[in-house]
Amino acid sequence: MAKYNISLDDLTPNNLQVLRRINSVVLPLPYSDAWYKESLTVGPLVKLAFFNEIPVGAIRCSLVVPQKHNVGESKIYIMTLAVLAPYRRYGIGKQLVDYIINDVVKLEEMAFVKEVYCHVWVENTDALEWYVKTAGFEKGEVVPGYYKKMDPPGDAVVLRKRV
């Protein structure tokens, strides 16, 4: 039986191009240089995944805090989750999501987070099924025209998981 090792690592200026490359191969829309630069400032909300020391996946999140006078709970938004196609059956995406749900949410500065959520293109049935069946998210509302840079603009399903 073949052995393999899956590990997660922090994003640094030295491996920033790895995040950019994985996203460009897997995701249908490009992200700006400013987005990648900001990714270096979000600490535990971004991780790279390695399969036998080969970079094959990444997750990038943001913290969503209600405005001062609004009622609501803080949330973590999964901005991107990407795993290279040949490595999708090894549990790498699940390990990345579990890291956010089980490790990041337990950090003292994240103790007020009550939900993790994301948007998935309605046509990406594989991702929608994965989030529900594998990662335990629940489908929410459809947001018409969420992906404005698609031609034509694409609708998104909101997926949520209480933590």
In a domain, 16, yes or no: yes
Domain count, the chain: 1
Residue 107: exposure state from Cβ atoms within 10 A (0-12, 13-18, ≥19): exposed
pTM over 0.95, yes/no? no
> What is the bridge-based pairing of β-strands 138-147 and 54-64?
unpaired
DSSP lists the bridge partners of residue 21 as none
Lowest mean pLDDT among 47-56, 63-72, 97-106: 63-72
Active site includes 119?
yes
Closest by CA position to 22, among listed 62, 46, 49, 58: 58
In a domain, 28, yes or no: yes
Residue with tokens 């994240």: 110
Report the CATH number that the domain containing residue 70 is assigned in CATH: 3.40.630.30
- Residue pLDDT, tens place only, 77-95: 999 999 999 999 999 999 9
Closest by CA position to 7, among listed 59, 56, 58, 51: 51
Q: Which domain holds residue 82?
A: 6-116
Res 72 pLDDT > 80: no
In a domain, 29, yes or no: yes
Res 153 pLDDT > 90: no
> What does the block give as tokens for 91?
């549990």
Bond before 13 cis per omega within 30 degrees: no
Active site includes 77?
yes
Say which of 87, 117, 119, 147 is annotated catalytic. Answer: 119
Say which of 36, 77, 90, 99 is annotated catalytic. Answer: 77
